[in-house]
Homo-oligomer: A and B are copies of this chain.
């Protein structure tokens, strides 16, 4: 069977990660981690649905630039595959059947990305989505041993990388808003579920007029200009669970 991989002091890595105070620190940590784990690449990659992305890692700047320029975000089977999964995934198990995907892969390898890869999706509030990836060039057997040995600490690393990334995001400051009253919460919830006012009022066993008062007052408290806006704000502030 294949080699045994280097033993890694997981606690030390995690402690360094938790001390990090900015993206540069994360970059330093990730370089250290690569050396500690004796693999070619590690990458933390934040993706949002608007197509913005950033992160840190050891891929060559040329590859990163090309990835962004070519909008490989929309092609990369790692991104697309992890989008519908929770569990970490080996690159081999993704769907490489399309022509675009195979082209992407061979190009990635040209730019120094490993032939093996293991990616862990992480998701935060409001649809935040990020990947933590370990990549290396080696045989399938060797890679299998690596995964077995390090899968769990890698999950923890992914978790803490994402935690740090969220901390560093300025716009994620929890904006304090007056809490909604219970009936207002109900009203927002039913509207978010697609009920129209008649049905929501019926469900809440109040008149539609009364319901409107709740919607209006919730809208006012949330600083929203219309019902849809109010529901969106209530959701993104975590005031309702839908």
Number of residues on chain A facing chain B (CB within 8 A): 64
A87: B residues at CB distance < 8 A: 163, 166
User: With A241-B51, A242-B49 given, is the CB distance from A159 to B163 under 8 Å?
Assistant: no
- Could you say which of B125, B196, B229 contacts A194, with CB atoms under 8 Å apart? B229
* Interface assignment of A185: CB less than 8 Å from any CB of chain B: yes
* Beta-carbon contacts under 8 Å, A48-107 to B: 48-51, 73-75, 79-81, 83-87, 95, 97-98, 100
**Complex CA–CA separation, A80 to B162 (angstroms):** 20
CB pair A49 B240 closer than 8 Å: yes
* Beta-carbon contacts under 8 Å, A123-178 to B: 123-129, 152, 155-156, 159, 162-163, 166, 174, 176
How near does chain B come to A156, taking the closest CB pair, in angstroms? 6
* Interface assignment of A179: CB less than 8 Å from any CB of chain B: yes
- Could you say which of B86, B156, B166, B182 contacts A162, with CB atoms under 8 Å apart? B86
Which residues of A line the B interface, CB within 8 A? 14, 47-51, 73-75, 79-81, 83-87, 95, 97-98, 100, 123-129, 152, 155-156, 159, 162-163, 166, 174, 176, 179, 182, 185-186, 189, 191-194, 196, 224-229, 231-233, 235-242
